Amino acid sequence: MGEFSTKGEANPDLIPAYQMAGELGLPMELAPVTGDFAGEGVLSLLKSGFRGLGGGLKRTLGDKKRLGIVIALVLVWLVVNLLAALGIFPLPVRMLSWLTAARGSLIGGSIGKGLVAALLTQIIVDKGMLQSLKGGLGQLTAAVKGGRKTAVSLLLGTGAGLIACNLLVSSNLQNTMVCVAGFVLSAQALTQNGFLRRLTKSLLPKAKNTAVKVVMGGWALGFALFAAVSLLPGGSNGYILGVLLVIAGGGLIIAGRNKKEVAAQ
């Protein structure tokens, strides 16, 4: 499996932040994280990430193009929700609602809106997006083709991604744009030495770098898989499948340890 690129952080000038009625959503992988975080605790890393949110918000407010995109999205969200509340929800409005993730819960819906807004902003202003996405998809493909060597990490990452996505949105087709945004942004993160990589490493301090990379790939895959899961009836399919995958990964870990113990006897 090829090594992921670790050449610096994401460009701070490309960081979008979004705020609406006190609700803030931002994919923290895009937030600037300064300093050396090797061995740093999760809480310290999260504090640094949230400081990055504030910096990203200031930069967005000072950039006319990005600020214009945010204002346009806020207006779309307000209009779509107002029309839905009035019982006016024809196909064009539904499509606009899907494309912008206009509907959702207070917390999960806000984060989902932030993911979609980040994706739409990158599509418009980031000329290098397709190149970084291509690199990330290459890394993800390598992780999936890793066979038994990557199976455990991939199962754990995919299960965690499914659970996280279900926390943001319920299992229905209307919310799949959040899955698309989460997958694309997470796939891009595979080529960056940013927040997501450091958070994964802090949560798995004993894991090797290769395993951390595969877990990140599984996380991205979980968002894509949740889009397919959304076609099934029920609102908790992501939780169920995610937990099953995590259990399967844990089972493989235990089986591997038992096999080593038997071989050592």
Give pLDDT tens digits for 91-136: 999 999 999 988 876 666 788 888 898 898 888 888 888 888 999 8
pLDDT value at position 247?
96
Q: Count how many domains the chain has.
A: 1
Q: Does a structural domain hold residue 222?
A: yes
Q: Does a structural domain hold residue 6?
A: no
Q: Does a structural domain hold residue 5?
A: no
Q: Does a structural domain hold residue 3?
A: no
Q: Does a structural domain hold residue 103?
A: yes
Q: Does a structural domain hold residue 4?
A: no
pTM of the model: 0.75
Looking at residue 105, what DSSP letter applies? -
- Give the chain's residues under pLDDT 50: 1-39
Give pLDDT tens digits for 241-260: 999 999 999 999 888 888 77
Do residues 55 and 61 touch, judged by C-beta distance below 8 A? Answer: no
Q: Does a structural domain hold residue 123?
A: yes
Q: Does a structural domain hold residue 23?
A: yes
Supply the range of the domain harboring residue 167.
12-264
What per-residue string of b and e applies to 139-158 under the rule 16 or more CB within 10 Å gives b? bbebbeebeeebbbbbbbbb
